[in-house]
Amino acid sequence: MRQTEQEAAAGRPAPPGTPRLGVGMVGYAFMGAAHSQGWRTAGRVFDLPLQPHLAAVCGRDPEAVRTAAAKLGWDAAETDWRALIAREDVQLVDICTPGDSHAQIAVAALEAGKHVLCEKPLANTVEEAEAMVAAADRAAERGQVAMVGFNYRRVPAAAYARSLVAEGRIGRLRHVRVRYLQDWLVDPASPLTWRLRKERAGSGALGDLGAHAVDLAQYLTGEAVAGVSALTETFVKERPLLGASSAPGGADAARSGPVTVDDAAVFTARFTSGALGTFEATRYATGRKNSLQVELNGELGSLAFDLERLNELSFHDQTEPAATSGFRRILVTEPEHPYLEGWWPPGHGLGYDHTFVHQARDLVHAVAAGTSPAPSFADGLRVQRVLAAVEESAAENAVYTPVPDLEAS
């Protein structure tokens, strides 16, 4: 049902009698704050069959997690994720932790009878991701659902691009180009955080940015990456430890540690249809803050999307007369566009945070219907296998590294 601007701005409470879905979240930093926004807002924008209830948030620091709970709108705080899973008021566990704990928490939550949302990438290794998929498959037989958080699928322009591809508007796919560019590590004095340690993060720009690039490419095209040829690089191989002085010759100057993940990854790919792909993921693109660009070229047309213009989609229809053809700008803000029925009047754009509202909406509907959500843990495993093939190709200087087929395993 379409809201008025005033209704949407004020927020609508759930209709009386709407059953609650108790959510427990592990982690409360950047991604935890984004997920909290989604859970708080989804039921006030969309008509949902279950009303998300922010039951408890979990973190190791007692004072910090209590502060986060108050700020982000959670009823309670826990310092042990096992205690959070055991809570009777938690039916869904949302995992917003570094990748090294995803598998342990997700499997435990599924085995405890909870639904699960897990941030991307699904895990740090293919083996962990496979264990998570197996646990999700067992849980599905009991009516539980499990989803991985690739939120860029929920940008309305990206979802609309997927519908155009599915309708055959660009015809047979020829080329896929994806670039995800950031620059937050350009300064060599930036500290050695968990994202730069392989044992915590699994990989660097490849897993952090490349995972989004691969998932979005496979989602938009409806095809899987069949093989890759890759290069990776770590430009700054040592960084100051957190808390160490960055002053030259200072007392703490020797307090540094090795960077054990990639700073950048580039690879070519072949899709199952034979289409060619090029991918780039880097944290060293000076001046680029969060630039995700995707272009699909087909025999009948092309689509292009840029996250820095996330309310727009560029579309070229090759079947139109040459004299008037060319890329057209589609402003994706109409109520007929994906997710827009709950928001503002046409022309009033959305932002990054809205993708988490849409993610929460879709997951709540899947929980209520008992249907497998997308992207599923199996979709997360498909991405994990591509990332592993990229790392293998780069390590071995391989010309081409096949990606194992999920159905054949």
In angstroms, what is the C-alpha Rg of the chain?
Answer: 22
State residue 15's pLDDT score: 75
Token pair of 371, please? 């249907």
249: left (phi over 0), alpha (psi -120 to 50) or beta: left
Angle at 297 (CA atoms; ends 295, 300), nearest 5 degrees: 140
What topology does CATH give the domain 5-152?
A: Rossmann fold (3.40.50)
Shortest CA distance to 394 belongs to which of 228, 281, 271?
228
Side-chain-facing half-sphere of 26: CA atoms under 13 Å:
29
State residue 1's pLDDT score: 33
Predicted confidence (pLDDT) per residue in 245-293, tens digit: 545 555 555 689 999 999 999 999 999 999 999 999 999 999 999 999 9
Predicted confidence (pLDDT) per residue in 146-178, tens digit: 999 999 999 999 999 999 999 999 999 999 999
Number of H helices and E strands in the chain, helices first, is 12, 17
Give pTM, 2 decimals.
0.92
Side-chain-facing half-sphere of 231: CA atoms under 13 Å:
5
Token pair of 71, please? 């700020």
Q: What DSSP state is assigned to residue 59?
A: -
What topology does CATH give the domain 153-355+376-402?
A: Dihydrodipicolinate Reductase; domain 2 (3.30.360)
Regions in the chain scoring below 70 on pLDDT: 1-14, 244-254, 408-409
For residue 102, CA distances in Å to 69, 202, 208, 402 come to 21, 11, 14, 26
Rounded to an integer, what distance in angstroms lies between the CA atom of residue 35 and that of residue 94?
8
- The residues spanned by each domain of the chain are 5-152, 153-355+376-402
State residue 12's pLDDT score: 55
Shortest CA distance to 222 belongs to which of 164, 278, 307, 177?
164
Strand segments, DSSP code E, in 203-300 are 225-233, 238-240, 256-258, 264-271, 276-282, 291-298
Q: Which residue has the tokens 């957190």?
A: 242
| CB contact burial 30-54 (16+ within 10 A = b; e otherwise) | ebbbbbbbbbbbbbbbbebebbbbb
Rounded to an integer, what distance in angstroms lies between the CA atom of residue 82 and that of residue 367?
22
Rounded to an integer, what distance in angstroms lies between the CA atom of residue 406 and that of residue 224?
10
State residue 406's pLDDT score: 78
Q: Tell me, what amino acid is at 407?
A: E
**Strands 225-233 and 256-258: what pairing?**
unpaired
Sign (positive/negative) of CA torsion 132, 135, 137, 140?
A: negative
> Given this chain, do its domains 5-152 and 153-355+376-402 carry the same CATH topology?
no
Rounded to an integer, what distance in angstroms lies between the CA atom of residue 281 and that of residue 292?
9
State residue 405's pLDDT score: 85
Cβ atoms 145, 262 nearer than 8 A: no
For residue 220, CA distances in Å to 70, 237, 333 come to 38, 35, 19
- 329 burial type by CB count under 10 A (0-12 exposed, 13-18 middle, 19+ buried): exposed
Cis peptide before 52 (omega within 30 of 0): no
For 88-123, the DSSP string reads: TT--EEEE-S-GGGHHHHHHHHHHTT-EEEEESSS-
